[in-house]
Amino acid sequence: MFRIVFVTLVAACLALPQVDKDLYAAEACTDAKCSSPDCKCSSTNIPNGLEPAQVPQFVHLTFDDAVQELNYHVYDALFANRTNPDGCPITVTFFLSHDYTDYSRVHDLYVNYHEIALHSITHEPSTDYWRNITIDQLNQEFGDEKTIVTTFANIPAEAIKGMRIPFLQLSGDNSFQLGKDIGLEWDCSWPTQTFRNPGLWPYTLDYKSTQDCEVGPCPEDSIPGFWVAPMIDWTDQQNIVCSMVDACVNIPEDADGLAQWYIDNFNVEYNGNRAPIGFYVHQAYFNANPIHLEAYTKFVDYLQTLNDVYLVSPSQTIEWVKNPTPLSAGVRAECPQIEDLGCSKQTCQLAKGEEMRYMTLCGECPDVYPWLGNPLGEAEV
């Protein structure tokens, strides 16, 4: 009996995510120990004690998965020439998965003021894979993806600041520690339904998080200076929570009703403590039903009638949280600056094991299809 129990316990321990042994358990956070700009406690309190009417309502419009020629043109038509109340271009965030991504179009999105973030190379469909993933595996999924994006979309490495784990499946401390290790600044994979109204503001992992753990295991150790951009859940018409908008089930079936449902969820934060609210979907959302694009357009058009609503990226929101100023003082000193390194576009036919893949990119074709452990696509690794 002892042998069976012992073996079972050992197996269970081995199945847990393997973490960096240098980490230490996070302590409770207080404002006295943790202050701007580099540390912030998890809290629903508005930064700097501002009143809601003094605070810009930040909205994060994001898309997960591959950027391709067809969806690029949808994005371009939908977002081109839109500006925020301060005259700066709006910013949409694209969480890239590697397979079938057109990196020349990723470059185009970047130079049009959108944020490029990481969503893994493989997008492995098993949630167990992501739950139990090691630091080394995460480094291949995200560290190697960062190399792929900077090389083949010709984007400065310092412009890539954020990540999202597939299926929002956390692995304890691992993904957050890995994000910091590879030079990222924030993660947007952690949903909250407890802190919806009032909403949870972005915070760092220097100290223990108070956020509810919907898709655990969640981080428990101190990871100084690494930010969490909480995914505040939406609710459908039956009051069932959903983290990704395209996962919501009980929703209107006409464009006007759907747009109003979007607005109703937005208003929870807008009429509350103005915590950043996200509209999180996958790239296939507009293909699933024509009314999705129609309703989405109506929603974005509505947001643009509000002079205190800013369509920005998590990076831009975090910059404001580090140095919060009232609307009357201006949301930022200047518009985001983009370094365009250029893009010499070509399409390459590349071997991926026994398969052949086509990859559109900026620059020269690699020897083989870039993948885990071989992000530059070198012939012999």
- Residue 356 dihedral angles phi and psi, to the nearest 5°: -115, 135
Give the whole-angstrom CA distance, residue 31 versus residue 29: 7
Is 14 part of any domain? no
Is 48 part of any domain? no
User: Could you give the angle at which helices 103-111 and 69-79 cross, rounded to 10 degrees?
Assistant: 10
Is 305 part of any domain? yes
Residue-wise pLDDT for 262-319, tens only, equals: 999 999 999 999 999 999 999 899 998 999 999 999 999 999 999 999 999 999 999 9
Confidence of residue 381 (pLDDT cuts 50, 70, 90): low
Is 26 part of any domain? no
Is 44 part of any domain? no
Q: pTM for the whole thing? A: 0.93
Is 17 part of any domain? no
CA 317, 323, 329 angle in degrees (round to 5)?
95
Residue-wise pLDDT for 68-103, tens only, equals: 999 999 999 999 999 999 999 999 999 999 999 999
Confidence of residue 256 (pLDDT cuts 50, 70, 90): very high
- Residue 7 dihedral angles phi and psi, to the nearest 5°: -65, -40
The total number of structural domains that make up the chain: 1
pLDDT at 16 over 80: no
Confidence of residue 3 (pLDDT cuts 50, 70, 90): very low
Percentage, residues of the chain above pLDDT 70: 94
Give the whole-angstrom CA distance, residue 216 versus residue 231: 14
Confidence of residue 7 (pLDDT cuts 50, 70, 90): very low
β-bridge partners, 192 = 232
What integer best gives the mean pLDDT of the chain? Answer: 93
Q: Give the amino acid at 163.
A: M
Q: How far is CA 123 from CA 10, 141, 164, 179, 295, in A?
A: 29, 9, 11, 17, 28
**Looking at residue 333, what is its pLDDT?**
87
Write the burial class of residue 281 (CB in 10 Å: 0-12 exposed, 13-18 middle, 19+ buried). buried
Confidence of residue 24 (pLDDT cuts 50, 70, 90): confident
Helix or strand run (H / E) with residue 152? helix 144-152
SS3 of residue 134 by DSSP:
coil
Q: What is the CATH number of the domain that holds 275?
A: 3.20.20.370
Is 215 part of any domain? yes
Provide DSSP, 197-257: TTBPPPEEESS------SSSPPP-B-EEEEEE--EEPEE-TT--EESSGGG--S--SSHHH
Confidence of residue 18 (pLDDT cuts 50, 70, 90): very low
Query: Are the beta carbons of 232 and 275 closer than 8 angstroms?
Result: yes
Is 303 part of any domain? yes
186-187 and 223-228: which strand pairing? parallel
Which token pair is 377?
């696509």
Domain that holds residue 149: 54-325
355-362 and 345-352: which strand pairing? antiparallel
Query: Are the beta carbons of 253 and 232 closer than 8 angstroms?
Result: no
